[in-house]
Amino acid sequence: MVKKPEPAKNDLGAVESTSGLNPVQLIQDSKDELAKVIWPSRQQLISESLAVIAMVTLSATTIYLVNNLFSWAASKVFV
């Protein structure tokens, strides 16, 4: 009896398909992966979003002020 070769596995242990894209399998795998996600609560989402907005605002303000400082200093030196 002839034994069929086993499907090739990639470095992560997933079986690689030799027939190309399988849309049904892709959708099923996507659903399985999304089921593993730990979604944040509404309160956590809001508080972390506000923290990101605050840090971006702080960074942008700091860059703006440093830029103005260097512009002022350059205008005094290179007049």
SS3 59: helix
Q: Where are the beta strands (DSSP E) in 1-79?
A: none
CA atoms within 13 A on the CB side of 53: 6
Q: What is the pTM of this model?
A: 0.56
Structure tokens at 20: 């190309």
User: Which residue shows structure tokens 């992560």?
Assistant: 12
Contacts of 25 (CB under 8 A, 6+ apart): 17
pLDDT digit string (tens) for 5-62?
Answer: 666 666 666 655 556 788 999 999 999 999 999 999 999 999 999 999 999 999 999 9
